[in-house]
Amino acid sequence: MKRNSFYVDKITRSIEEAITKKNIETEVLSLEAGDLKGVTKRNGWRFNWRIERAFKERELYKLVIKGDKTVQGLLSLQRAENYIEMHLIEAAPHNFGSNKKYLGVAGNLVAFACKISFGAGFDGVVAFRAKTRLIQHYKDSLGAELLFRDRMCVRGDSAKKLVNSYFKDVLK
């Protein structure tokens, strides 16, 4: 199983334009086959999302700005018995590195995964594999817990805080 290597640059209210600090309203939608046309390694994406889409048990989502079709980030989830497994998460190439256009993409997608988990009755539990060098970062930025080795999860109050940060206090 691949290990995630996403970086949570900032927890925002939606996503934030890096230059102006303006909050931009977003929505998370199901990823359609046509969305993958520009999602290629040649265009700067690190993962092969066509392969990820072939796993029928996984749900793929895209983060877009309301009223704009441009993909800002992608997420692959799978519902397990009592939690959500986050297989892959990736910010669009224009949202990665020191010249990124928008901040908060990864945080927004993790918050969405937690929201799905709450909706499924899983207490917001989202599990994922982490690269060793990012474990402390996920603890600090997401409130994630180390389960064992490279397995981490976000749950409970940490998940609720993330969901409420991005989805306007939908959980009390």
Range of the domain at 50: 15-166
Q: Is the pLDDT of residue 171 over 90?
A: no
37 residue type, one letter: K
Whether 96 is covered by a domain: the verdict is yes
Q: What is the pLDDT of residues 83-92, one digit of tens each?
A: 999 999 999 9
E strand or H helix at 72: strand 71-79
Query: Is position 7 within any domain?
Result: no
The tens digit of pLDDT for each residue in 130-149 reads 998 999 999 999 999 999 99
Residue 66 burial (CB count, 10 A): 9
CA distance 48 to 21: 31
For residues 82 and 125, the answer to whether their CB atoms sit within 8 Å is yes
Number of domains in the chain: 1
Q: CATH no. for residue 70?
A: 3.40.630.30
95 assigned to some structural domain: yes
pTM, whole model, 2 decimals? 0.92
- What pLDDT sits at residue 11? 61
Four-point Cα dihedral 120, 121, 122, 126, nearest 10? 40
Is 4 a member of any domain?
no
- With respect to residue 146, please indicate whether it lies within any of the assigned structural domains: yes
Task: List the beta bridge partners of residue 24.
Answer: 15
Is 48's pLDDT higher than 70?
yes
